Amino acid sequence: MECLHEGHRQRIREKLFSHQGSLEEHEILEILLFDAIPRKDTNPIAHALLDSFGSLKNIFSASPQLLCTVSGIGKSTAERICLMGLLLDKIQESQTQEVRLYNFSEVNDFVRKRFLGNRREKLEIYMLDERNILLCIKTLTDIQSDLVAMDSKTFSFILSEVKPKKIILAHNHPSKMAVPSEKDDASLKEFVKICKMHGVNVCDSIVVAEQDIYSYYYSNRLKDFL
């Protein structure tokens, strides 16, 4: 029976990895319960939770004490579900604290804070929606001196997953002036090429130094790469 459960768990995990959008509510609960209940079939427990509370929202809003009244739910499992509910609440709250990068003043302040005190070269890619709201940040460190680059296949994959409308690039020159090098220009050209393939607009590329910041857009150079 345990082998049967393991086979089922593996199939559900593969579904999560490849087709997460097609997961049913009870399957989501099953996966959540896998680690909390490692040696039992979590399918009937997931169904019992839905039968008891009626919806995922009610499950994740329930107290640990109330969750423990469902057959198969012990104290540690109830704590895990409750913790997930608290996390969802925090995610909901964070939606009112969106980061917007609409103009150079906002970008400048954001980038300076991100790179403050950084002594190693770093590349950051800020992915934005159509309203210039930040969706995701991809950070690369330990970049070869004077070279900011990312594998094109990896970058294409990230764009296809996040689906931004726009991006802003930023990298630092820790021990130099905020002046782009020829290799920086070459990397920007490659970024623009890949972004065009995905219908993504490159809004700016920023070079940060300790006392200075350089913008390809405001230096009127970005148009040369578009």
pLDDT per position as a tens digit, 19-63: 777 788 998 898 888 888 887 888 899 999 999 998 999 999 999
Neighbour-count burial of 43, counting CB atoms closer than 10 A to its CB (0-12 exposed, 13-18 middle, 19+ buried): middle
Residue 147, pLDDT score: 43
Measured distance CA(80)–CA(168) in Å, rounded:
37
Q: Residue 91: pLDDT band by 50, 70, 90 thresholds?
A: confident
Highest mean pLDDT, choosing among 12-16, 36-40, 159-163: 159-163
Q: Residue 95: pLDDT band by 50, 70, 90 thresholds?
A: low
Residue 204, pLDDT score: 97
The count of other CB atoms within 10 Å of the CB of residue 86 is 10
Residue 4, pLDDT score: 47
Q: What is the pTM of this model?
A: 0.67
Residue 146, pLDDT score: 39
> Does residue 166 carry a pLDDT above 90?
yes
> Does residue 73 carry a pLDDT above 80?
yes
What the chain holds in terms of domains, given with CATH numbers, is 2-96 (1.10.150), 104-224 (3.40.140.10)
pLDDT per position as a tens digit, 177-196: 888 989 899 999 999 999 99
Contacts of 124 (CB under 8 A, 6+ apart): 111, 114, 137, 138, 139, 140, 169, 170, 171
Which pair of structure tokens corresponds to residue 171? 């990298």
Residue 218, pLDDT score: 93
Question: 129 — phi, psi (to 5°)?
Answer: -90, -170
User: Average per-residue pLDDT in the chain?
Assistant: 86
CA nearest neighbour of 49 among 22, 20, 28: 28
Q: Residue 145: pLDDT band by 50, 70, 90 thresholds?
A: very low
Measured distance CA(111)–CA(87) in Å, rounded:
27
Are 64 and 80 within 8 A, CB to CB?
no
Contacts of 170 (CB under 8 A, 6+ apart): 111, 114, 115, 123, 124, 125, 126, 205, 206, 207, 208
